[in-house]
Amino acid sequence: MANEIDTGLASGVLYENITQAAQFVFNENALLRQIVTTYDMTGTPGLTASVPVYPKVTNGGALAAGADLSNESITPSAVDITAAEYGHMSTIQDIVVEASPLDVGADVGRILGDALAQAMDESIVDLFASASTEVGPGAGSEVTVEHILKGAAQLRANSVPTTGLVAVLHPLQAFNVKKGFLNAGGTFGSSPAAADTVAREYFIGRIGGVDIYESASVDIITGDDAVGAVFHPAAVGMALKRDIRIALQRDESIRGFEVVASAAWGTGILDSNKIVKITGDAAL
């Protein structure tokens, strides 16, 4: 930048409005952050969280009277999650702030907060393709409620806890799941309460103990397909190194401010037994 000066306005109303809006939108819109296991690294040295993952104990049979127990080592493996910095920058010119009838600072804060929220969600859903177990219909075929239930059944067969299961689908995958509730003669026609919820809220809700979310952060891959997943929150970890931060720098040559929003986090699969992927069509 040329001829930068600090006018002190960075600590004023503009900064406060941007920061409040960005923090609110980031925390509200980073939906998937709420359904994974988060490790708070803020204020600690280093960028990598080494998460212990404990094996399942196998010795649990009946004991004969006076029998000695055999020793089974419980040695955890470690999954390393390395945080990286994410950021976005925007420029606000003085003339825009002075001429607009709107709160430009709050508008810019919402845009930057939403951009970081989407980046965080994308870092989670990008892990789905690396899951080792597939329960979906496959490329070119429609995802249905049956595939959600298959995912739950597979996880429970892996002794995953039955509470807290979630599914995340692309909205165009979720469309066919919702349609299955609403179509006349659909397989769930005998469940009017569930169908009413979908029709009224346009939200899938809970099926077979699985809370289903749709996220546009799920990428559409070649052939109009997408990879969703059913998983337990313990399957996916997030190392949060730094929450959203807003900084302003005056650039007098453009008569305005550069606004930078940044945060630092990393994601990784902690336990492949607790997640299954659902590959299916993502086209209307």
Sorted by where each starts, the structural domains of the chain and their CATH numbers stand as: 133-235+272-281 (3.30.2320)
Reported as a single tens digit per residue, the pLDDT across 94-104 is 888 888 787 88
The answer to whether 131 and 154 are in contact (CB under 8 A) is no
Average pLDDT score over residue span 12-23: 88
What's the whole-model pTM score? 0.82
Per-residue tokens: 159: 């002794």
Residue-wise over 17-47: b if at least 16 C-beta within 10 A, else e? bbbebbbebbeebbbbbebbeebebeeeeee
The confidence score (pLDDT) of residue 68 equals 75
Express each pLDDT in 132-149 by its tens digit.
999 999 998 999 989 999
